[in-house]
Amino acid sequence: MAHGAGGKASRRLVDGLFAPLLFDSGQPALGDRLSDAARVTVGGAPVAITTDSFVVTPLVFPGGSIGELAVNGTVNDLAVGGARPVALVTTFVLEAGLPTDTLAAEVRAMGRAAREAGVAIVGGDTKVVEHGKVDRLYITTTGIGQPLAGVSLSARLVCPGDQIILSGPIGDHGITILLARGELDLEADLGSDTRSVFPMVEALVTAAGPSVRWMRDPTRGGVATSLNELALDSGLGVHLFEESIPVRDEVRGACELLGLDPLHIANEGQFLAVVTAEQASRALDAIRAAGGAGAVIIGEVRDEPAGAVLVATRYGGTRIVDMLVGDPLPRIC
Partner 1 sequence: MKYVDEFRDSDLIGRACDEIRRLAEPGRHYRLMEVCGGHTHAIYRFGLKDVLPENIELIHGPGCPVCVLPMGRIDDGLALARDPNVIFAAFGDMMRVPGAQGSPLEHKARGLDVRIVYSPSDALKLARTNPDRHVMFFAIGFETTAPSTALTLMRARAEGIRNFSVFCNHVTIIPAIRAILDSPDMRLDGFLGPGHVSTVIGCRPYEWIAATEHKPIVVSGFEPVDMLQSIVMLLRQLREGRSVVENQYTRVVPWEGNRAALRALAEVFELRPYFEWRGLGFISQSALQLRDAYAAWDAERVFRVPGVRVTDPKAAQCGEVLKGVLKPHQCKLFGRECTPEHPVGALMVSSEGSCAAYYNYEHRKTAASLRVLTPA
CB of 45 to partner 1, least distance (A): 40
Nearer to partner 1, 97 or 330 (CB): 330
Query: Of the listed pieces 31-39, 55-63, 83-91, 241-249, which binds partner 1 according to CB under 8 A?
Result: 241-249
Nearer to partner 1, 48 or 323 (CB): 323
The answer to whether 325 contacts partner 1 (rule: CB under 8 A) is yes
The answer to whether 187 contacts partner 1 (rule: CB under 8 A) is no
Evaluated on CA atoms 271, 277, 283, 285, the torsion sign reads positive
CB of 110 to partner 1, least distance (A): 31
Of 310, 307, 282, 309, give the one whose Cα is nearest residue 297.
282
Among 4, 209, 294, 326, binds partner 1 (CB under 8 A): 326
The answer to whether 329 contacts partner 1 (rule: CB under 8 A) is yes
Mark residue 261 as left, alpha or beta (left: phi above 0; alpha: psi -120 to 50; beta: remaining): beta
The answer to whether 314 contacts partner 1 (rule: CB under 8 A) is yes
> Residues 55 to 84: which contact partner 1 by CB under 8 A?
none
Rounded CA-CA distance 90/68 in Å is 13
CB of 46 to partner 1, least distance (A): 35
Longest C-alpha distance within the chain, in Å?
A: 60
The radius of gyration of the chain's CA atoms, rounded to the nearest angstrom, is 19
48 burial type by CB count under 10 A (0-12 exposed, 13-18 middle, 19+ buried): buried
Is residue 110 within 8 A of residue 121, CB to CB? The reply is: yes
* DSSP calls for 64-126: EEHHHHHHHHHHHHHHHTTEEEEEEEEEEEEETT--HHHHHHHHHHHHHHHHHHT-EEEEEEE
- Planar angle of CA 149, 153, 155, nearest 5 degrees: 170
Nearer to partner 1, 152 or 313 (CB): 313
Nearer to partner 1, 108 or 282 (CB): 282
Among 244, 278, 282, 293, binds partner 1 (CB under 8 A): 244
Among 253, 285, 288, 294, binds partner 1 (CB under 8 A): 253
Query: Of the listed pieces 48-56, 99-107, 190-198, 297-305, which binds partner 1 according to CB under 8 A?
Result: 297-305
The answer to whether 300 contacts partner 1 (rule: CB under 8 A) is yes
The answer to whether 316 contacts partner 1 (rule: CB under 8 A) is yes
The answer to whether the bond into 99 is cis (omega within 30° of 0) is no
Residue 43: partners with Cβ closer than 8 Å, 6 or more residues away: none
b/e code 252-269 from CB counts within 10 Å (16+ = b): eebbeebebbbbbbbbbb
How many residues bind partner 1 (CB under 8 A)? The answer is: 45
Of 160, 289, 136, 168, give the one whose Cα is nearest residue 213.
160
CB of 19 to partner 1, least distance (A): 20
Nearer to partner 1, 79 or 247 (CB): 247
The answer to whether 105 contacts partner 1 (rule: CB under 8 A) is no
CB of 259 to partner 1, least distance (A): 7
Among 9, 98, 107, 289, binds partner 1 (CB under 8 A): 9
Among 11, 84, 195, 239, binds partner 1 (CB under 8 A): 239
The torsion angles phi and psi of 218, rounded to 5 degrees, stand at: -80, 80
Residues that bind partner 1 (CB under 8 A): 1-2, 8-9, 163, 183-185, 237, 239, 241, 243-244, 249, 252-253, 256, 259, 297, 300, 302-305, 307-308, 310, 312-322, 325-326, 329-333
